[in-house]
Structure 1
């Protein structure tokens, strides 16, 4: 029995190692090729560079005004994800604590909205955004992200809040707390795990999103990092030696952010999806 367990554990370890290799392989190609000349990239993408071309980073950063793009990405991501949390958490709380047919209908609408393909609403979205003066400004994009991010945010919070003891809220209500004070002082602090999960998942989406910003932001000084990378690709030439350094710099902040908070994510997803 011990030998069988040992063999199964070894097989699992080998499988996990292979999966890790497959997932990390793209990072190897991106990082290695970001310090190569264009000719070396075209000749042998998998080979190590003959010499480190760190000037690729300097040139690429200067050409796309990288720090301006980084600022735009940070503002849009923080504003979008912050709004999703501030609006989605109390909405989910009310849907759970006020059980009624209306609440059930609203929750069903939220869930149904999660399966609507974004491509099916692109054209009307741009038209409505144009009429509402939301095009070509960061605030307009943030507001649109709020709308598209609410269904998934409410879905996760809704499941998690079902596991929060209602007795705490009853005691607070007897002490004279109104709904606003009760939620922010008592309920919301108990939602730390699922809040971190929502922040991680929505940050990964907003930070890496290309399609929605490309529809809303036209001015170069308002573009995000994914849009700035697209500048190096044209009809007749792809400047891989310039695009890859920006890609590495764009990935690095979100990878560090994810690694610092990942321990909360699995627990939050499991509790948010299973409870109730």
Structure 2
């Protein structure tokens, strides 16, 4: 076998393995979508087969059971508010830590990085007890906690990106009469757009899908998020898989819409990261 034939065989094997791996990753989505259109009896009869008769009754019932409009509002409010505040505060902190070369700034940066390895479960009970004493077991409290948990990784990402922005820009703006806030907001922050998109994506996916923290903090039935509402399909004695799968599709739609509108910025951020 000559070199050209070996190359063709190798490429064919890689293509086959990549296709199989892609199908493996897509299989959960296939199972969710296919079974969302089945009746409960048909779902348990054959999980992998296509529906004999497609029905939208599952989506209608799941929409009502989820109180989808109210749950969607609270999920969007918590996610958007938390992500926006994480982006603003983390970029500010990272900028000051990167521009201020001192032992204190290095210690603070190391503390932020060290907090990334502490699992949430290790501080879960003391944190909830402390927040309960402050009467912050509500929507405002969970946003405050999301900012705290999301800041470490975001500061780490911003700090690395800021190293590629020359300090001379800050000095030139200062000579022109800008104060610290103006330098950051009008000069530095617009340049952070590529990494801000990355930070927004990572935190949006995490906060939108989070179940554990909201289950500990949000107690009012009127302020439950979509993951909390979806859990009610799984009772102690029965599991409504047909409604749960339909609800999951409804949950995914806002994320798909977010990706659709942000895809240009996502591509730009990936391209900018590869260049740098």
Settle same-fold status: TM greater than 0.5. yes
**Cα distance in structure 1, aligned partners of 2:126 and 2:271:** 38
Q: What is the match of residue 267 of structure 2?
A: 263
Per-residue deviation, 1:41: 1.2
Q: Work out whether 1:141 is the aligned partner of 2:145.
A: no
Partner of 1:177: 178
**CA distance, structure 2, for counterparts of residue 98 and residue 133 of structure 1:** 36
User: How far apart in 2 are the matches of 1:20 and 1:255?
Assistant: 19
- Structure 1 residue 7: deviation in Å? 3.0
Paired residues of 1:197 and 1:264 also in contact (CA < 8 A): no
1:258 is displaced (CA, Å) by 3.2
Name the counterpart of 1:231.
232
Match of 1:45 among 44, 47, 63: 47
In the other structure, the counterpart of 1:216 is 217
Query: 2:203 matched to 1:207?
Result: no
What is the rounded CA distance, in whole Å, between the counterparts of 1:22 and 1:14 in structure 2? 12
Greater CA deviation, 17-26 or 190-199? 17-26
- In structure 2, the partner of 1:168 is 169
| Length-normalised TM-score, structure 1 | 0.93
Deviates more, 1:260-269 or 1:94-103: 260-269
Q: CA RMSD in A?
A: 1.6
**What is the count of residue pairs matched by the alignment?**
271
Gaps of 5+ in 1: none
Q: In the alignment, what sits opposite 2:75?
A: 73
Distance 1:270 1:95, change over 3 A: farther
- Partner-residue secondary structure (3-state), 1:48: coil
1:134 positional shift: 1.1
Displacement of 1:267 in angstroms is: 4.7
Give the alignment partner of residue 101 of structure 1, picking from 95, 99, 103: 103
Conservation of the 8 A alpha-carbon contact between 2:116 and 2:153? yes
Instruction: Assess if the C-alpha contact under 8 Å between 2:79 and 2:204 holds in 1.
Output: yes
**Whole-angstrom CA distance in 2 between matches of 1:219 and 1:64:** 15
Matched residue, 1:61: 63
Task: Indicate the SS of the match to 2:93.
Answer: helix
Residue aligning to 2:132: 130
Displacement of 1:125: 1.1
Shift in Å, 1:149: 0.5
Instruction: Work out which of the residue numbers 21, 35, 42 in structure 1 matches 2:23.
Output: 21
Cα pair distance change 1:204/1:269, threshold 3 Å: farther
Q: TM-score, normalised by structure 2?
A: 0.93
Alignment partners' CA distance in 1, 2:268 and 2:45: 43
Q: Name the SS of the counterpart of 2:55 in structure 1.
A: coil
C-alpha deviation, 1:45, in angstroms: 0.8
- CA distance in structure 2 between the aligned counterparts of 1:211 and 1:147, rounded to whole angstroms: 16
Residue 147 to residue 187, structure 1, CA distance change in 2 (3 Å) = same
